[in-house]
Structures are given as C-alpha cells and as structure tokens.
Amino acid sequence: MTLKVLFSAPPQQWSAFRAPLDRAFREAGLDTDLRYDHPPGEVDYIVYAPSGGLSDFTPFTRAKAVLSLWAGVESIVANPTLKIPLTRMVDSGLAEGMVEWVSGHVLRHHLGLDVHITRRDPRWNPVVPPLARHRRVGLLGLGALGSACARALAGLNFNVSGWSRRPRQVEGITCLHGEAGLAQILSHSEILVLLLPLTPTTENLLDERRLALLPRGAFILNPGRGALIDDEALIAALDSGQLAHATLDVFRTEPLPPEHPFWAHPRVTVTPHIASETRAETASQVVAENIRRAEAGEPLLFLVDRDAGY
C-alpha cells in the first residue's frame, strides 16, 4: 500500500526537502506519496514544522504519527488536538552545526577575540588568555546536542561540566543534576552554555538570583531557547558587570524586534537563530527511518514524552 505523507512546513522548505525525503523513503524500502496538499483524511504520516501553519490535527483521522523537523517541540507538545505519537528531530546535521557554533563562540570568549577585532588603539597591550584546561565551561542540558558539545569542548581541553534535570552520564564529563547541582555548576562556570528544552520548569531558569551565582565577569551563550533566561535580569547583570557578555542565538520573539534592547547593548551579540539548522539530507533519513519503524511495528526514535515536554 502506498503511504500518503503530508509535508506541513513553510513553502520555501518544500523545494529543499522534497528530493531528499523521496530519496530517503526509497532507500528505506517505503512506497510513499509525498505531497503538501493531501486531503487530511487520507494522510498516513505528517512531516511537520511548527512554522508551517498546521495547528488542528483533528481532521487527520488516519494519521499514525507526526514527525517534527525541529528539535524543539514546545509549540506543539501541549496541543489538545494531537492524539497520535510525536517525534522530535535528532540527527547528525543538527549536532554538527551546534557543536561548531558553540565551539566557535566558546573559543571566541576564551581567547578574548572581541578585543582584538574591535581594537583601534595602537598601544601594545598583550593580554594572554589562560590555557583551555584552566577555563571552566558549564553546559545546562545534556541531551543529544548538549552531550555532543560537551565532548567537543572537552576535546579542546576545556574543563567541562554539565547539568541536567535528571541524572545523566557522559564519558569524560563531570555530570551534575538537581537544584544543588545547578547551583554548583553556576558557581564555577566562567563560560555557560544553555542547551535545555523549553518547558514550564525551565522557563526563566536563569533569573536574577541564579545569574548572581555565576562568577563575576562570566560569559553566557544561549543557542537553546530564548525563554530560558529572564531578559530584564540578563540586561541588569550585563549592566552591572556581573556578566561580561551574552551571545544569544534564540529569543522569546523571533525575528528579534528592531526595538529590542539586545540589538544596541554593547555586551550582547545577536545571531539570527543559526546555531543549528535542520539539514534536509540528514533529517530526511531520520524521518524515513521512523516511518519504516512505525510500519514494522518497531518503537519510534526520539518519541516525545508529553509529560516532560520534550
């Protein structure tokens, strides 16, 4: 039987994903009809991006699963019309892109490159950074992306610790969890990287009290979710010198409004949600494998826990 697969994502992504998805389906031995305009009652699987406009899943009476192209699922996980399994995207392309962005900006702050890039003062003033093994880097979030970044930074010889809500083990990384573990990792992280999912328990996780736990002059990188940080508390910490700089890739409202104070703040770097983009080639293979698994009665990969929110 031919499986009808609906592509529900922004129109500009159709041209990027159509050929890779069709190829991945063939390689997985699937007989599929991939379109963006299937009648809802005939759809077997939905390839989904939250920005595609689909919000009511009630008409999809035959659908077996929603396969998200995004790593974050906070905009869909509580949708009351979604009664079928939901998977999130975890793939090698996402991990590689995130590792490169995080490693690049950790090295940038570690080496003090901003000073050299912007300096126009001809006075010779050599400031030598510490070796990486003396720089303490903390990661909040030890899922697939956080663990990959932790291992990469440890490979560069940084002193790396990671924190998660529940106990996790990552080889070669000091892993902490729970409220006591959070306070501990904040207190010694000279560079802090946020890679947590956005859930009711992580929203505004970095508030005024927790930002004050960081060593004075710490750096923050946020390629996770914008609402992990209290914006006003972050600006206050930057203004006071508690934080030296914040490099932000994600925001509560995207695109970031032109009037937002982050744009003009001298201690904030804004990047336009580019830390890790879903790559069509690698993501299509994950989608195809999950459809193959569903048809074979096997467990789906990266199934979302609705209670946990990710």
Cite the active site residues. Answer: 225, 273
What DSSP string runs through 222-285? E-S-GGGB-HHHHHHHHHHTSEEEEEES--SSSSPPTT-HHHH-TTEEE--S-SSPPPHHHHHH
Beta strands 86-87 and 45-48 are unpaired
CA dihedral 155→238→266→101, nearest 10 degrees, is 20
Structure tokens at 255: 């695109």
Closest CA to 291 of 91, 44, 76: 44
Beta strands 218-222 and 159-164 are unpaired
Q: Which residues of 203-212 are buried (b: 16+ CB within 10 A; e: fewer)?
A: bebbeeebbe
The answer to whether residues 187 and 215 touch, using CB atoms and an 8 Å cutoff, is yes
d(CA 101, CA 115): 20
Q: Which stretch of DSSP H or E encloses residue 4?
A: strand 3-8
Query: Percentage helix, strand, coil, to 5, in the chain?
Result: 35, 20, 45
Structure tokens at 18: 């159509």
d(CA 310, CA 144): 12
Q: How far is CA 68 from CA 45, 50, 75, 123, 286, in A?
A: 11, 8, 11, 53, 10
